[in-house]
Amino acid sequence: MSDSWVNSAERIGSDLLLDLAGPGSRRAVLIRALRDAVREGRLAPGTRLPPYRSLAADLGLARNTVADAYAELVAEGWLTARQGSGTRVAPRTAPLTPVRVPKKAPEGPATPAHDLHQGKPDAGSFPRAAWLAASRRALNAAPNDAFGPGDPQGRIELRRALTDYLARSRGVRTTPGRIVICSGFAHALRLLFAGGVLRGPLAVESYGLGFHRSILEAAAVRTVPLALDGDGARVDELAGLPGVRSVLLTPAHQFPTGGPLHPERRSAVADWARGRGGLVLEDDYDGEFRYDREPVGAVQGLDPDRVLYLGSVSKSLSPALRLGWMVLPEHLVGPALRAKGEREAWASVPDQLTLADLIDSGHYDRHVRRMRQRYRGRRDQLVAALATHAPHVTPTGIAAGLHAVLRLPPGTEQSTVKAAAWQGLGLDGLADFRHPAATMPATDGLVVGYASPPDRAFTEALAALCRALPPG
């Protein structure tokens, strides 16, 4: 017999697949199928089974066959039968088949007690009330066409709001017509390179996110690393790369080592792009969060026709929103839209309208200012803890952003990452972000995110971090 469905809603409450294949009599096969359904949780304790006459009709079996199967399973304890209550799956106080996990040598806590990975904002500080109010206003004011097929360029309301916001906060020079909404920086990379808007090879910084390199590799784009020093990427090396016409940079706060691109290098890379007919891709991943002086404006402002500005709300609001933007030279808008497709398939239109309202109403600015103060306080706690308990460890890249790099003695990074795991910390070593083809000298360090742990646990997390650091 083949698999059969029992699907009478008034009898069993939901569809149930019984496997009636296999050797044995019909009674034996039915008993085995019902046992399996109970054991695997498809028939939960207390579930009422159909009367044996009904089940026999559904399965094409003799009534006595089903009645005998029920009686056998009642006798074995799989089912219960009471007058007026029908036949039900017997209650259980524990799973019938406990999951057995193979034993292996422990490598530290499976789930970190304290998450100090980079790139994570404080999820608990998402402005829920302001977002909800903005959503109500935006939906009430939205025209009917907002609820039809989405425009791949993004809602005009958001593109107008971003035009004003990016101009005053980041020095970006654009118009709504040069902005294309996407779902974040990674999506932008896929559209630009996998979508055929741009081609490799692409110069990148020697330290960056491996995830981004993987996206480029999947699009068959060869990446060429540029060395870094205290002034940021060595953009002078671009002149010696004749086949390279594009470069990806994090000028406001080099990821992950920290520090802005020196003003002379900002001008130099814009000049290089003009002279070679090339392009600069500017990843402004956390440009809003600068603590010790005024924010560094976008390189895009130096030459809007040669610099693609890429941003998102992943750090300022939440990565769960999946909202980002590309500010493009005018000649790339058409190709980017063709790569994206005829309809918006990524960025929710209601979310676009809500973000536009949040920006226009001033609530977005207020939220960013509040989070800037909060993250600066976290940064200061980290610096103070290191000064007290590990003064031999130097934090760098702390003038901005949501993470710091702790410089370590040579040869100690791997052991320190393991020690941190044993202290219940989740964090990354600096080597995890190094380009595999980088030739600049490697530096040992930890990349420590300080934004996401809750207040009640942050002091304990810092204490555990200091315990994991190598002695001075």
**pLDDT tens digits for 322-353?**
999 999 999 999 999 999 988 777 889 999 99
Residue 87 token pair: 């036949």
Give the separation between CA 314 and CA 297, rounded to whole angstroms: 19
Q: What is the pLDDT of residue 9?
A: 34
| Lowest-pLDDT range of 106-110, 190-194, 273-277, 362-366 | 106-110
Q: What is the pLDDT of residue 19?
A: 73
| Cis preceding linkage at 201, omega within 30 | yes
Average pLDDT estimate for 384-399: 93
As to burial, measured by CB atoms within 10 angstroms (0-12 exposed, 13-18 middle, 19+ buried), residue 452 is buried
Name the fold adopted by 4-89.
Answer: Arc Repressor Mutant, subunit A (1.10.10)
Check if CATH label 3.30.1440.10 holds for domain 126-365: no
Q: What is the pLDDT of residue 112?
A: 81
Q: What is the pLDDT of residue 98?
A: 45
Q: What are the DSSP E strand ranges found in 149-188?
A: 179-182
Q: Does residue 44 surpass a pLDDT of 90?
A: no
Packing angle between helix 349-360 and helix 363-389, nearest 10 degrees?
80
Per residue in 237-295, pLDDT (tens digit) is: 999 998 999 999 999 999 999 889 999 999 999 999 999 999 999 999 888 899 987 77
Give the separation between CA 208 and CA 211, rounded to whole angstroms: 9
Q: What is the CATH number of domain 114-121+371-468?
A: 3.90.1150.10
Q: Which residues pair with 312 in a beta bridge?
A: 324
Residue limits of CATH 3.90.1150.10 in the chain: 114-121+371-468
Average pLDDT estimate for 453-472: 92
Packing angle between helix 156-170 and helix 349-360, nearest 10 degrees?
40
Q: Which residues pair with 309 in a beta bridge?
A: 282, 327
Name the nearest CA neighbour of 344 among 155, 209, 199, 94: 155
Mean pLDDT, all residues of the chain:
89
Average pLDDT estimate for 403-411: 95
Give the separation between CA 52 and CA 81, rounded to whole angstroms: 12
Give the separation between CA 220 and CA 183, rounded to whole angstroms: 22
Residue listed under structure tokens 């916001």: 165
pTM of the complete model? 0.76
Residue limits of CATH 1.10.10.10 in the chain: 4-89
Residue limits of CATH 3.40.640.10 in the chain: 126-365
Per residue in 93-107, pLDDT (tens digit) is: 665 554 444 444 444
Q: What is the pLDDT of residue 51?
A: 87
Name the nearest CA neighbour of 150 among 287, 285, 348: 348
- 12's enclosing H/E stretch is helix 9-12
| Lowest-pLDDT range of 123-127, 341-345, 359-363 | 341-345
Average pLDDT estimate for 354-364: 97
Q: Which residues pair with 202 in a beta bridge?
A: 223, 246
- 164's enclosing H/E stretch is helix 156-170
Q: Does residue 428 surpass a pLDDT of 50?
A: yes
Give the confidence band of 61 by pLDDT, cuts at 50, 70, 90.
confident
Alpha helical stretches, state H, 24-153:
26-39, 52-59, 63-76, 128-141
Average pLDDT estimate for 217-231: 94
